[in-house]
Structure 1
Amino acid sequence: MAREMLGIDIGGSGIKGAPVDLSDGAFTRARFRLDTPRPARPKPVAKVLAEIVDHFGWDGPVGVTYPGVVIDGVAMSAANVSKHWLGVDAAHLFAEATGREVTVLNDADAAGVAEMRLGTGRDRRGTVVLLTLGTGIGSALFTDGVLVPNTEFGHIQIDGMDAELRASAKARTEEGLGWRRWAKRLSVYMAHLEALISPSLIIVGGGVSRKSEHFLPLIEGVRAEVVPARLVNNAGIVGAAMAADAAHPAEKAAPAARRVRASGRTGGPQREPGAAEAAR
Structure 2
Amino acid sequence: MATVACGIDIGGSGVKAACVGLSTGEFIGERIRIDTPKPATPDAVADVCRQLLEQLEVGPDVPVGIAFPAPIIRGVVPFIANLDPSWANIDVNELMQRHLGRPIAALNDADAAGIAEVTFGAAKGVPGTVILTTQGTGIGSAVIVDGVLVPNTELGHLEIDGHDAEKRASAGQKTLQDLSWKKWAKRLQRYYSHMEMLFSPDLFVVGGGVSKNHEKFMPLLDLKTPMVPAQLLNTAGIVGAAVWAANKA
How much does 1:39 deviate? 4.4
Match of 1:189 among 180, 191, 195: 191
2:189 equivalent to 1:200: no
Find 1:175's aligned residue among 152, 162, 177: 177
Shift of 1:210: 2.4
Is 2:55 the partner of 1:24? no
- Distance in 2 (CA, whole Å) between partners of 1:64 and 1:207 is 21
| Residue 231 (str. 1) matches residue 226 (str. 2) | no
Higher relative contact order (CA 8 A, sep 6+): 1
Distance 1:143 1:73, change over 3 A: same
C-alpha displacement of 1:173: 2.9
SS in 2 for 1:31: strand
- CA distance in 2 between counterparts of 1:37 and 1:212 reads 34
State the partner residue of 2:113: 111
Q: 2:215 maps to which residue?
A: 213
Q: Which residue of 1 aligns with 2:68?
A: 66
In structure 2, do the counterparts of structure 1 residues 112 and 183 end up closer, same or farther at CA, with 3 Å as the change threshold? Answer: same
- What is residue 4 of structure 1 aligned with on the other side? 4
Task: Give the residue type in structure 2 aligned to 1:172.
Answer: K
Q: Equivalents in 2 of 1:215, 1:133: separation in Å?
A: 13
Residue 157 in 1 paired to residue 159 in 2?
yes
Give the C-alpha shift of residue 171 in structure 1.
2.6
Matched positions, count: 246
Aligned to 1:36: 36
Contact 1:115 1:122 in 2 (8 A): yes
Q: Which one-letter code corresponds to 1:23 in the other structure?
A: S
Q: How does 1:85-164 map to 2 (within 5 A)?
A: 85-164=87-166
1:255 is aligned to: none
Q: Distance in 2 between matches of 1:15 and 1:178?
A: 33
TM-score w.r.t. length of structure 2: 0.90
User: Using the alignment, how far apart are the partners of 2:237 and 2:124 within structure 1?
Assistant: 16
**How much is the aligned-residue C-alpha RMSD, in angstroms?**
2.0
Against the structure 1 CA distance between its residues 212 and 71, is the aligned structure 2 distance closer, same or farther, given a 3 Å change threshold?
Answer: same
Q: Deviations over 1:74-130 (max 9, x none)?
A: 112324444332211011112222233211011111111111111121111122111
Which secondary structure does the structure 1 equivalent of 2:30 belong to? coil
* C-alpha spacing 1:34/1:201, structure 2 compared with 1 (3 Å): same
Q: Distance in 1 between matches of 2:86 and 2:177?
A: 28
**What residue ranges of structure 2 are gaps of 5+ in the alignment?**
none
Moved over 6 A (4+): none
Distance 1:13 1:146 in 2: 30
Contact 1:130 1:202 in 2 (8 A): yes
Separation of aligned partners in 2, 1:178 and 1:30: 38
CA shift at 1:228, angstroms? 0.5
> How far has the Cα of 1:35 moved from its partner?
2.7
Give the drift of 1:245. Answer: 0.8
1:175-205: per-residue Cα shift (whole Å, max 9, x none)? 3333333222222211121121111210011
TM-score, structure 1 length as denominator?
0.80
In structure 2, C-alpha distance between the alignment counterparts of 1:200 and 1:236, rounded to whole Å: 23
Distance 1:58 1:132 in 2: 29
Change (3 A) 1:136 1:82: farther
Amino acid in the other structure paired with 1:224: T
Distance 1:3 1:233 in 2: 22
Give me the whole-angstrom Cα distance separating, in 2, the residues matched to 1:39 and 1:223.
45
